[in-house]
Amino acid sequence: MRVSGTSCCRYRGKRLATLRRAGWYHCPVKIVASILLTTLFAVSPKPHLQTPIESVAREMLRNFVTGRFDLATQDFNDDLRPVVTPQLLADVKAQLDRQVGPFYLVKEAHQSVKGGLRTIQLLARFENGSVSVDVIFDPFDRIQTVYFNPILSPPVDPVLESLARQVLTNFTAGRYDDAVKPFNAEMAAQLTPANMAGLAENIGRIFGTFQSVTQVQQRVDKRYTVIDLTLSYTNGPVAFRVAFDAQNRVAALTISPFKKE
């Protein structure tokens, strides 16, 4: 939409027994199970230093999502302001509200040069998806053009969804030999039925009893296609993520407390 004027410890060899007692599993092929206490090992990243034009872009977005449309236009240049009026911004926000719901936060900010003009891209997280907000500046650091582009989730592949649900069903039913059948060779070698049984015990102790699947989404992560299943457990929601390789074999599995990104 254009608005414009013109947890995780790793197990290998002898460490497996120790990790079983602790209830932690992690395979080198990106398997993650019950993530707790990760903050103990967190390293504080370097603070992100905003450039002046990034601060302007963030302020514009903040005013836009809170309905202060007059303030949102205050840094528009003389060409953009007469065309992109507060009323037009209100119409754009109403459309985004229908598509992606309420605004949550800015996940990322990137600065680049497009067509000789500096651009700030804000990746904004909303309740039902993300929006790429591209703010293009003129040579005098005034906003020349703004794009609000929803990033829509791809349709879920029914074959991969069925396979992911099959893994989940066998996992929650205790049929671990069947649960590992869709795994590729590397995955099967590292997450055996015996290991999966220990994992299921740990999951049950932390999250309680499985109840239902509440949401299904698909995304791409590098060379994998990932099916994200959101699960309802008695102790809270759980993210059950199954990554598939190019042959539609399971290459990675993640089970963790669910939280909105």
Q: Would you write out the chain's pLDDT as a tens digit for each of its 261 residues?
A: 655 544 333 333 333 333 333 333 344 334 444 333 333 333 445 666 899 999 999 999 999 999 999 999 999 999 999 999 999 999 999 999 998 899 999 999 999 998 899 999 999 999 878 999 999 999 999 999 999 999 877 789 999 999 999 999 999 999 999 999 999 999 999 999 999 999 999 999 999 999 999 999 998 888 899 999 999 999 999 999 999 999 999 999 999 998 765
Using one digit for the tens of pLDDT, what is the confidence trace for 56-103? 999 999 999 999 999 999 999 999 999 999 999 999 999 999 988 999
Can you give the pLDDT at residue 151? 85
First CA to last CA distance, the chain: 23
**Six-digit token string for 145:** 């053009």
Can you give the pLDDT at residue 261? 59
For the purposes of burial, counting CB atoms within 10 Å of the CB of 100, is it exposed (0-12), middle (13-18) or buried (19 or more)?
Answer: buried
Rounded to whole angstroms, the Cα distance separating 88 from 137 reads 20
**Which strand ranges, in their side-by-side order, compose the sheet holding 103-114?**
2-4, 143-151, 129-137, 117-126, 103-114
Q: Which residue has the tokens 């953009």?
A: 80
**Six-digit token string for 96:** 């985004």
Greatest CA separation found in the chain? 70
Backbone angles phi, psi at 90, to 5 degrees: -60, -40
Phi-psi bin for 145: left (phi > 0), alpha (psi -120 to 50), beta? beta
Rounded to whole angstroms, the Cα distance separating 15 from 38 reads 19
Rounded to whole angstroms, the Cα distance separating 56 from 137 reads 10
Backbone angles phi, psi at 205, to 5 degrees: -65, -35
Q: Which residue has the tokens 């995955």?
A: 187
CATH number for region 52-151: 3.10.450.590
User: By C-alpha distance, which of 168, 211, 72, 53 is closest to 118?
Assistant: 53
The CATH class of the 2-41+156-257 domain is alpha beta
Can you give the pLDDT at residue 22? 36
pTM, 2 dp: 0.55
Backbone angles phi, psi at 54, to 5 degrees: -65, -40
User: Which distant-in-sequence residues (6+ apart) come within 8 Å of 233 by Cβ?
Assistant: 207, 208, 209, 210, 211
Can you give the pLDDT at residue 111? 96
Q: Which residue has the tokens 């254009």?
A: 2
Q: Where are the domains positioned within the chain? A: 2-41+156-257, 52-151
2 three-class SS: strand
CA-CA-CA-CA torsion sign (70, 72, 74, 78):
negative
CATH fold match for the domains 2-41+156-257 and 52-151: yes
